[in-house]
């Protein structure tokens, strides 16, 4: 082993006994490498910082599991960091997938509900309008359909029906007056 490896192994053995100073020194000497590797895997600075903290929390809690015979302190640390970073990416990916599935399902349910609801309302409105229009004379119905369903002005209605402007206005006004009690009753 070289001098740096020996120093890190000694620091880890002191960390295993709860030595906060040794932990701080171990952190200072290795955190930039851990963060760099985690950032390459995670690709998000904020999540990489959190993951690096989690790695060093694991070091604090499990320094006693380090075995110098099995590998170097830096190798052990980087293995912890790599595993934690990969787990974090998997967790984030799964969370995004769940959120996407949930929002897609919620959106499709909402759309289906809205479409069904709107369709039902539209059919009911059409039925009510047809029922009301049956209460009008043929001339009144024609004037109302041109003005309200085709969006024509009074002048255009008069021209379409071949009548004078006051006559077209009168037919529309009489039709609305005739429908008024039924519209008020339907709206209530």
* pLDDT tens readout for residues 138-175: 888 898 888 888 888 889 999 999 999 999 999 989 98
pLDDT score, position 180: 83
Q: φ and ψ at 2, to 5 degrees?
A: -95, 180
The token pair that represents 38 in the structure block:
């985690």
Is 136 found in the same domain as 71?
A: no
Contact 59, 104 (CB under 8 A): no
Is 167 among the domain residues? yes
CATH of the domain at 66: 1.10.1740.10
* Residue range of the domain that includes 175: 120-187
Mean pLDDT of the chain: 87
Whether 115 shows a pLDDT value over 90: the answer reads no
Same domain? For 131 and 96 the reply is no
pLDDT confidence of residue 8: 96
16 and 89 together in one domain: yes
pLDDT tens per residue, range 81-90: 999 999 999 9
CATH number where 174 lies: 1.10.10.10
Do 96 and 126 lie in one domain? The reply is no
pLDDT band, residue 128 (cuts 50/70/90): confident
Among residues 71, 102, 133, the one where a domain terminates is: 102
Same domain flag for 1 and 85: yes
- Is the same domain home to 33 and 87? yes
Residue 129: pLDDT over 60: yes
Domain count, the chain: 2
Q: Is the pLDDT reported for residue 26 higher than 90?
A: yes
Tell me how far apart the alpha carbons of residues 143 and 128 are, in angstroms, rounded to a whole number. 18
Q: In degrees to the nearest 10, what's the CA dihedral of 10, 12, 18, 24? A: 100
Residue 143 located in a structural domain: yes
Q: Assess if residue 16 is contained within a domain.
A: yes
Between CA 42 and CA 47, with CA 45 as vertex, the angle to 5 degrees is: 60
């Amino acid at each position: 082993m070289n001098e740096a490896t020996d120093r890190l192994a000694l620091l880890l053995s002191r960390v295993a006994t709860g030595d906060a100073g040794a932990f701080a020194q171990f952190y200072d000497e290795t955190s930039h490498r851990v963060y760099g590797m985690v950032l390459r895997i995670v690709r998000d600075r904020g999540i990489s910082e959190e993951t690096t903290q989690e790695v060093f929390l694991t070091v604090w809690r499990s320094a006693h599991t380090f075995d110098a015979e099995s590998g170097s302190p830096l190798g052990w640390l980087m293995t912890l960091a790599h595993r934690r970073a990969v787990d974090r990416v998997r967790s984030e990916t799964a969370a995004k997938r769940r959120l996407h599935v949930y929002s897609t399902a919620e959106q499709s349910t909402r759309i289906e509900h809205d479409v069904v609801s709107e369709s039902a309302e539209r059919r009911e409105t059409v039925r009510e309008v047809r029922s009301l229009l049956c209460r009008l004379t043929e001339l009144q119905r024609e004037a109302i359909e041109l003005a309200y369903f085709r969006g024509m002005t009074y002048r255009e209605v008069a021209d379409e029906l071949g009548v004078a402007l006051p006559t077209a206005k009168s037919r529309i006004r009489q039709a609305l007056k005739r429908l008024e009690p039924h519209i008020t009753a339907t709206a209530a």
